[in-house]
Amino acid sequence: MRIRTVLMILSITAGVLGMMLLTSTAFAEMKIAKVNLSAVSENSTRIKAAMEDMKKVQLESAPKLTVLSNEIKKLEDQLKAGEATLSKEEKEKLENEVQTKRQEMQQEQQSIRVKLAFKQKSLGNVVRTQLNEILEKIAKEEKFNAILNSDVVLYSDGVPDLTEKVTKALDAMPALEITPK
């Protein structure tokens, strides 16, 4: 999903920053922490709720898609059954109805895709912004020079893990997701 992509970008950025910082001469004075952004994504109640909301959008449209699909099948069956008995006008009418129903179904599917894409992008932007705020606040409060994503840290004995703290802080942030109608 898009959220994982955002977290991956943050992870790579944090990893590159971490490598740059580790090679600096000020390494002895550095205070470093780590956070598992994948675990934050998996454990955050806000992110879970947003994912459920996206599933709900899909589920809400399923009945309409099923009805349209059944109507198309019924019309196609009528065309097939009456192939030899229907007049040219009746066949054209049924074919036009099938085409109209297919277009309706495509429009509904496109509408669902647009809603889901909007929700994903909105959520990704919100999560990225809020995670940056949270990490910056924790770094300043606890005087960390760097907070690295634990996915890119190869060894970290004694390095504080802020995953749970970041997850709680993210869940406490105000919801800013925008929902299209």
Position 180 in a domain: no
Task: Check the CA dihedral 115-130-167-148 and report its sign.
Answer: positive
Position 181 in a domain: no
Q: Compute, in degrees rounded to 10, the torsion defined by CA atoms 135, 136, 141, 144.
A: 80
pTM for the model: 0.64
Assigned token pair, 36 = 């598992």
51-109: per-residue pLDDT in tens? 888 888 888 888 999 999 999 999 899 888 888 888 889 889 989 999 999 999 999 99
Beta bridge partners of 146: 32
Position 73 in a domain: yes
Position 48 in a domain: yes
3-33: per-residue pLDDT in tens? 766 666 666 655 555 555 555 444 557 899 9
Number of domains in the chain: 1
Position 177 in a domain: no
Hey, which of 17-21, 79-83, 166-170, 174-178 has the most confident mean pLDDT?
Answer: 166-170
Three-class DSSP category at 35: strand
In angstroms, the CA 3 to CA 121 distance is 8
Position 104 in a domain: yes
CATH number of 88's domain: 3.30.910.20
pLDDT of residue 23: 53
